[in-house]
Amino acid sequence: MKREGFALLLLNACESLDKRILDILKNEEVGLDRFWEEGPDLWKKLPITDNVRTRLIQLKNDGWVEAECERCGLLGIKVVTILDDLYPERLREAPWAPLSLYVKGQWPLCGSFVGVVGTRRCSSYAFRVAHSLGAKLARSGVVPVSGGAKGIDGAVHSGAIDSNGPTVAILGTGVDKVYPRGHERLFDNITREGTLLSEYPLGTGASNWRFPKRNRIISAISEKLVVVEAPLKSGAMITARYAMELGREVWAVPGRIDENVARGSNGLIYDGAYPLVEIKYFMDSLSGGQLDFFSDGNFDVNTTGMSDDQVRILSLLSEKGERTVDNIVSECKMSAAEVLNSLGLLLARGDVYPSGPGRWSASLKSKS
Amino acid sequence: MNAVLGVTLKGVDAIKVEVEVEITGGLFAISIVGLPDAAVRESKERVRAALRTLGIPIRGRVAVNLAPADLPKEGALLDLPIAVGMAKSTGALRFSRPSVFMGELALDGRLRAVRGAVPAAIMAREKGLDLFIPEDNAHEVSLVHGVNAFKVPDLRSLIDYFRGDLELQRVKNDFKADQQKKIEPDFSDIKGQAAAKRALEIAAAGHHNVLLIGSPGSGKTLLARALRGILPPLSDEELMEVMLVRSTVGISSSRGRERPFRPIHHTASAVAICGGGTNLRPGEISMAHRGVLFLDEFTEFRRDLLESLRQPLEDGEIVVSRSAGSVTYPAQVLLAVACNPCPCGWFGDPVEQCRCSSNDIERYQKKLSGPILDRIDLYVPVPRLTPEELLSLEGKCGESSEAIRERVCRARSLQLERWSDIGSGSNSELPEKILRTRLGLSREARSFLGSVAGTLKLSGRGISRVLKVSRTIADLDSSVEISTAHISEALAYRQTGFLS
Ligand SMILES: [Zn+2]
C-alpha cells in the first residue's frame, strides 16, 4: 500500500474523521504523502482537535497502520480507501463518506445495490417477505445490502444465499468480529458470494453508537432502499431518513396497523414512500419498467409436472389464502391422506409453506 | 431351623426370601438380620401383636434371619412369612407343602393388600410353590394362569387352615379383561383436525413417537389422550407386563386391555418419572409401559429430566441405581410430546396476535431440539380452529376410534410378519441397515427423496425418519412398495409450522 493509503487508514482510525478532512488538508496545501511522511511535526500546524492529534501520534508511534495492514493480509481482508477505484461510487459522493472500508469476501461485486432493512424483532410475516426479497434480488443479479443483525437483516442475507447470489452485510463492528452471536455460519456464507463491509478497524467490538453510523452507509451505497418492517424508533428508520436526505427512492412493505412493529414502515408510506405491495412491481421498477398495477387479477402458478390434486390445492391456496387441512379436505373433496401427500410434494417444490400450526399458504415465489 | 418362604421385589421380579426364625431362652427381644428396610424392621411389632391376639405368645430371644443375606428386603409384605415362621418355631402350626407367604399384618391379625402379588405369583408358579396372599390381591393374581394360590383373610384363618380346621378359597383363573370397552375420548368426538388424526393413525400403526404443536386450546391434549384408543389392544403377554408393573407399584385395579396413558407434568420429580426413591418403585415411564407417555408443555421440562429419559426411550427399559445395586423396570412407551408453536403460544393463529419476534422463535426452537426431539418421527401441527371453521365442520362426524384401530391393527400385523426375522415389531424400531435395503422403496420414490432432501435441508437422521414413516404409510395402504406419494406425505410431517 502506498503512503497515501497509509495516511487514509490512519485518519480513518480516528473515528471522528471522514471525507471532510480531505478538504481541510487541501486548504492547508498538505498532500496525503506529506501528511504521512512528516508526521507529528506537520500535524501540530493543522487545524485539527487535540484529541485527534493525540490519537494520530499514538497510533503512528505504535506502528499501528503497518500492523493493521499485516493483520488484514493474514485474514484475507481488503482495505479500500476513498481514493481507490474500487471504492463504491455512490458512497464516495456522500459528504460524510468514510475514508477507508474493510472488505471481507468478494469485492468488487457487479450489479446494482438495493438496501433492505427492518427491525431485529420482526414479525414472522416480515421475516418471510425479507427472505423472499433477498432471494428474488439475488436471482435477478441485484445485490441486496443490509446490516448484520438478526431479524430482517438475517432474513435478507439468507434469502440471497439460498439462491446462491451475492449479498452485502454492512457491519457496525470490525469485519473480523461476529456480532450478534449465532451469526457465525451466516457471515461465513455471506463471504462465499458476497461480502462483509465495515469502516471500523479490525477488532472493533459492538457498541450502540456505531450502528446508526453504519446505517448511513447502507443508505448511501444503495440505489434504492426497502424498509420491510420497522417500529417508529429503529435503526431502519434512521437508514430511511438518510436515504431520503440522499435522494434515494424509498419503498416500504405495508404492515398491520394495530401493531407497533410496523408503525415506522407504514408511516413512511403515509409520507410518500412507495408501498411494496408486490415484489414483482419492485423488481420491475429496478429495471426501469413501468409500474403497472392492475393488469392481471390472478397469480400465475407454474404447474408443470403437477398432478390434478396438487394443482387444485395450489390454486385454492393462491386464490383464497391460508387454509387448514380440514378446509382443503372439504373444499377439494379429497381425503386427508391425499391432501397431505400433495402438500408434501408442493412443499418440496417450494410452492407452499406452513404459515402456522396446521395452516398452509402458497409461497410468495409461486405468486410472482 | 424352619425356613418359611416370603418374597421381596427386585425391579418387577419377585425374589424368594427364606425366613428363618430361632427362639432361645432369656429376656424377650426380636432382632431381624439380612438387610431389612425400615418397614421390615417395624414388622416385629405388628407380628407380635397379631400373634398375641391368636393366643400364641412369643417369649425369649427371637432371631429372624432373612436370606439371601445380600439382597435388600423391603416393605410390609414380609409380615406374614415372619409371623408364620414364629408360629412354626413355637410349634403352633406345621405344614409340609412348600409355600410362599405374602401380606401385611394389621394389629388384629387381618391381612392387608401388598404390592408385588403378580410377580410373586409368577415366581410361585415357576418354582411350583403354593402361594398365600391377602384377599385384596386375589383379583390381579387371577390373571396368572397355573398358580396354586389361596386367599387369606387373616392370620387366624391361615393357622386354622394348616390345622385342618378350615378351608381357604383358591384364587380362580377367571381374570376378565373387558374386551372392547369404549375408550374416551373417541376420535369421532373430536371436531375437524383431519391432518392430526391422520398423523396419529400413522403414529399408532408404526409406533412412531409424535410431537404435537399447537396454540393453547387447539386440542393437543385431547388428541394425545385419544391416541391410546387407536392402538391395538394389549396382547396377553403385554397385559401381563402391564399388570406386573401395576402390581409392583401397588395398584391392583384392572383396566382391561386398554393401554396405559400417563401424562407427566414438567414439575414432576425425576424419581416420580423415572422410578427409584426410598421405597424403590417404578416411575411414570414404567407405568406407561406398552402405552402412551405424554409430556405436555414440553419446553418447560428441565434439561436434566429430558436427558434422563433418553436412555429408557432408546432401550425400552429403565435402570434405576441405588446404593444396594440397580434394578431394571420396563419402559416401552409410545411418546407423545406437546408444545406451543412459540413462546407466547399464538404463532400463526388467525385470531390472536403472536407477539414473538423471529428471534424469540429461533431461541424457542433451539430449546425444543435435543435428546427427546431426536426420537420423534412425526411432527403433528394442530391448528386452533376459529369459531367459523368449527361451525363449518358442524354435523360432519369423523371416523370412530374403532374404525381407525382396525386399520392400525392390519398395518401392525403386516409389520410383525415382515420384520419377524429381525425381532422388530414395528417400523419405528428398524435398524439403519434394514432401512437402506429392505424397505421396498420404489425407484421413483428413491430419486424423488434424493432430489428433495437438499431443498428441504433434511439431515441423515431426518431422511431415516421420513423413510420409516413412509413405510408405515405404505403399510396402511397395504402396499408392498413405497411410492412417491407415501414419501411426500411423510415429508408433510417433518414440518413444524415454524419459521425455517
Ligand atoms: Zn408468539
Query: Given an 8 Å threshold on Cβ–Cβ distance, is A325 in contact with B495?
Result: no
Query: Given an 8 Å threshold on Cβ–Cβ distance, is B347 in contact with A359?
Result: no
- For chain A, the first-to-last Cα distance in angstroms comes to 48
Asked whether B382 and B296 are in contact (CB, 8 A), the reply is no
Q: Determine the Cα–Cα distance for residues B104 and B102; give it in Å rounded to an integer.
A: 7
Q: Determine the Cα–Cα distance for residues A182 and A220; give it in Å rounded to an integer.
A: 28
3 state SS of A73: helix
Q: Which residues contact B335 (CB under 8 A, 6 or more apart)?
A: B209, B210, B292, B293, B295, B313, B372, B375, B376
Distance of CA A108 to the CA centre of its chain: 16
- Neighbour count for residue A196 (Cβ, 10 Å): 26
pLDDT tens column, B402-443: 999 999 999 999 999 999 888 778 899 888 888 878 889 999
Which residues of B are less than 8 Å from A128 in CB distance? 499
Picking from B179, B165, B218, B173, the residue whose alpha carbon sits closest to that of residue B196 is: B218
Q: pTM for the whole thing? A: 0.74
Q: What is the dihedral of CA B58, B63, B69, B74, to 10 degrees?
A: 40
Q: From the CA of A243, how far away is ligand 1's center (Å)? A: 32
Q: Determine the Cα–Cα distance for residues B263 and B298; give it in Å rounded to an integer.
A: 11
Question: A353 forms bridges with which residues in the sheet?
Answer: A361
List every span in chain B annotated with CATH 3.40.50.300: 187-413
Which numeric CATH code is attached to A113-286? 3.40.50.450
Distance of CA A360 to the CA centre of its chain: 29
Mean residue pLDDT across chain A: 89
Q: Which residues contact B186 (CB under 8 A, 6 or more apart)?
A: B226, B229, B400, B401
- Which helix (H) or strand (E) segment holds residue A339: the answer is helix A336-349
- For chain B, the first-to-last Cα distance in angstroms comes to 74
Give the best residue of B220, B351, B357, B493 to mutate against chain A (max A CB count within 10 A): B357
CATH of B2-163, one of 3.40.50.300, 3.30.230.10, 3.30.9.10, 3.30.1360.30: 3.30.230.10
Q: Determine the Cα–Cα distance for residues B42 and B23; give it in Å rounded to an integer.
A: 19
Grid cell, residue A244, equals 431520503
In this structure, what are the phi and psi dihedrals at residue A45, rounded to the nearest 5 degrees?
-85, -10
The distance of A181 to chain B (nearest Cα, Å) reads: 12
The distance of A45 to chain B (nearest Cα, Å) reads: 52
Q: Determine the Cα–Cα distance for residues B32 and B6; give it in Å rounded to an integer.
A: 14
Grid cell, residue B420, equals 419377524
pLDDT of residue A237: 95
Angle at A120 between CA A114 and CA A123, to 5 degrees: 95
Which residues of B are less than 8 Å from A324 in CB distance? 192, 195, 383, 385, 389
What are the angstrom distances between the C-alpha of A72 and each of A11, A29, A194, B392? 17, 31, 18, 65
A307 burial level (CB within 10 Å; 0-12, 13-18, 19+): middle
Which residues of B are less than 8 Å from A153 in CB distance? none
Q: Which residues contact B52 (CB under 8 A, 6 or more apart)?
A: B58
Query: Given an 8 Å threshold on Cβ–Cβ distance, is A354 in contact with B495?
Result: yes
Which residues of A are less than 8 Å from B486 in CB distance? 341
Grid cell, residue B298, equals 414440553
Question: B151 forms bridges with which residues in the sheet?
Answer: B133
Strand order in the sheet with B261-264: B261-264, B292-295, B334-339, B210-214, B378-382
Grid cell 391422506 in the structure block, residue: A337
Strand intervals (E) in A292-339: 323-324
Instruction: List chain A domain ranges.
Output: 3-85, 113-286, 308-366
Q: Report the sign of the C-alpha dihedral through residues B238, B241, B246, B247, in that order.
A: positive
What are the angstrom distances between the C-alpha of B218 and each of A308, A356, B380, B387? 31, 12, 12, 12
Query: A308-366 architecture in CATH?
Result: Orthogonal Bundle (1.10)
The distance of A216 to chain B (nearest Cα, Å) reads: 24
Q: From the CA of A122, how far away is ligand 1's center (Å)? A: 11
**pLDDT over threshold 60, residue A325:** yes
- Neighbour count for residue B24 (Cβ, 10 Å): 8
Grid cell, residue B215, equals 396454540
Q: From the CA of A119, how far away is ligand 1's center (Å)? A: 16
In this structure, what are the phi and psi dihedrals at residue B61, rounded to the nearest 5 degrees?
-90, 125
**pLDDT over threshold 80, residue A364:** no
- Neighbour count for residue B267 (Cβ, 10 Å): 10
- Neighbour count for residue A51 (Cβ, 10 Å): 10
**pLDDT over threshold 70, residue A368:** no
3 state SS of B25: coil
Grid cell, residue B340, equals 406451543
pLDDT per residue of chain B (500 residues) written in tens, 0 to 9: 458 999 998 888 999 999 999 988 888 888 888 888 887 888 888 898 898 888 888 888 999 999 888 888 877 889 999 999 999 888 888 888 889 999 999 988 899 999 899 999 999 999 999 999 999 998 888 888 889 999 999 999 999 999 888 999 998 877 665 555 677 899 999 989 999 999 999 999 999 999 999 999 999 999 999 999 999 988 888 988 998 998 888 876 666 778 999 999 999 998 999 988 877 889 999 999 999 999 999 999 998 888 889 899 988 999 988 776 788 999 999 999 999 999 999 888 887 877 787 778 888 888 888 888 888 999 999 999 988 888 888 777 789 999 999 999 999 999 999 998 887 788 998 888 888 788 899 999 999 999 988 888 888 888 999 999 999 999 999 999 999 999 999 999 987 655 44
List every span in chain B annotated with CATH 3.30.230.10: 2-163
Asked whether A230 and A238 are in contact (CB, 8 A), the reply is no
Which numeric CATH code is attached to B187-413? 3.40.50.300
Strand intervals (E) in chain A: 77-81, 100-105, 113-117, 143-146, 168-170, 195-198, 224-227, 249-252, 274-275, 323-324, 352-356, 359-362
Which residues of B are less than 8 Å from A350 in CB distance? 455
Across the range A283-311, mean pLDDT stands at 67
Asked whether A229 and A252 are in contact (CB, 8 A), the reply is no
Picking from B332, B350, B341, B352, the residue whose alpha carbon sits closest to that of residue B297 is: B341
In single-letter form, the type of residue at position A294 comes to F
Picking from B299, B283, B278, B340, the residue whose alpha carbon sits closest to that of residue B497 is: B340
B460 burial level (CB within 10 Å; 0-12, 13-18, 19+): exposed
Q: Report the sign of the C-alpha dihedral through residues B294, B299, B303, B307, in that order.
A: positive
3 state SS of B172: coil
Which residue among B194, B218, B491 places its CB closest to the CB of A336? Answer: B194
Q: Is the ipTM of this complex over 0.90?
A: no
Q: How is B343-400 classified by DSSP, letter by letter?
A: SSS-TT-SSSPP---HHHHHHHHHHH-STTGGG--EEEEE----HHHHHHTTT-----
Asked whether B85 and B20 are in contact (CB, 8 A), the reply is yes
What are the angstrom distances between the C-alpha of A142 and each of A134, A189, B80, B407? 9, 18, 87, 54
Peptide bond into B185 cis (omega under 30): yes
pLDDT of residue B494: 85
